[in-house]
Amino acid sequence: MTSDPSYSALAARFTGRPATAGRRLSGALAEVVLDDGRTVIVKSADGPGAVRAEAAGLRWLAEAGSVRIPRVHGHDEHRLVIDRVPRGRPGVAAAARFGRDLAALHAAGAPAFGAPPPGGPEEAYIGLAPMRNAAGTDWPSWYAEHRVLPYLRRAADDGTVTSAEAAEVERVCERLPGLAGPAEPPARLHGDLWNGNVLWGGDGHVHLIDPAAHGGHRETDLAMLRLFGCPHLERITEAYGERAPLADGWAARVGVHQLFPLLVHAVLFGRGYAEQALAAARSAG
């Protein structure tokens, strides 16, 4: 294992322990071994406020005391130091525990739809895409204004969707009050809950990383979890419902809640995701 003085020094600074070794895992990630045998991850980000947003999100999610979240040791303007999660294998028992813990996380609540984590910036990120955390009073209008339409407009400006296709999504936004189901209070969302951010730990628990945390509708996290597949997804959903039953008709609303992440992907990665977003809009009825 080769030494990286820059990452090692940052890890030592925020953990208070000397670093014995370190290596880059990718352009944005490095791992550093401390003298007590623990390993931490140093993650870098280029966007202004991205590290601050991630650190605030991780701490806010951890405060709920439900789903396992890596400890934040500290951060500077561009890099974040967190505990590494020892990896395990997906299992049914861990999936059930995760479903119940996710329900408890959501129930911890948020001050408003769109509320950022305490100490987090209003101008945040979801992956590599900017994401604005601006508070709203009701979910349908907030979701349309601050989650769906900004990415739809950018996709249209980039030529990724046609004007006729954009009009289809806009009509769904207009109908959201009737499509959203019963009103619910703001939930404490992970906000980017796809399978890559779900780590099956060696301790038998699921750990969540890389949040785009904010106050939102709990069905959005669950719908995002279904986008790219997740081991034992049906057991996760079943256990979630045992702890916090979902409102009738939730399965028919999955497409509505997937519009946001699919349009983000369309902006970042192109036409294939735009077509999926259109299919989701049409599935909304």
Q: Under DSSP, is residue 261 helix (H, G, I), strand (E, B) or coil?
A: helix
Q: Is the Cα torsion angle 228, 233, 239, 245 positive or negative in sign?
A: positive
Give a three-class secondary structure readout of 89-106.
Answer: CCCHHHHHHHHHHHHHHH
Does 152 have pLDDT greater than 90?
yes
Closest CA to 152 of 44, 238, 277: 277
**pLDDT tens, residue by residue, 159-179:** 999 999 999 999 999 999 999
**pLDDT tens, residue by residue, 101-130:** 999 999 999 999 999 999 999 999 999 999
- In the chain, what is the straight-line distance between the N-terminal and C-terminal CA atoms, in Å? 55
How large is the average pLDDT for residues 78-90? 96
Measured from the Cβ of residue 178, the count of other Cβ atoms closer than 10 Å reads 9
Binning pLDDT at 50, 70 and 90, where does residue 48 land?
Answer: confident
Does 193 have pLDDT greater than 70?
yes
Q: Which of 4, 101, 192, 210 is catalytic?
A: 192
192 annotated active-site: yes
- CA 283 from centre of chain: 23
**pLDDT tens, residue by residue, 247-272:** 999 999 999 999 999 999 999 999 99
Inter-axis angle of helices 254-269 and 163-174, nearest 10: 150
Lowest mean pLDDT of 43-47, 60-64, 199-203, 212-216, name the range.
Answer: 43-47
Do 224 and 189 form a contact (C-beta atoms < 8 A)? no
Q: Under DSSP, is residue 138 helix (H, G, I), strand (E, B) or coil?
A: coil
The span from the CA of 253 to the CA of 105, in Å, is 21
Q: Is the pTM of this model over 0.85?
A: yes
Fold of 85-285: Aminoglycoside 3'-phosphotransferase; Chain: A, domain 2 (3.90.1200)
Closest CA to 279 of 258, 248, 250, 249: 258
The span from the CA of 264 to the CA of 266, in Å, is 5
Measured from the Cβ of residue 171, the count of other Cβ atoms closer than 10 Å reads 11
How large is the average pLDDT for residues 190-211? 97
Task: Name the residue ranges covered by the structural domains of the chain.
Answer: 85-285
Q: Under DSSP, is residue 29 helix (H, G, I), strand (E, B) or coil?
A: strand
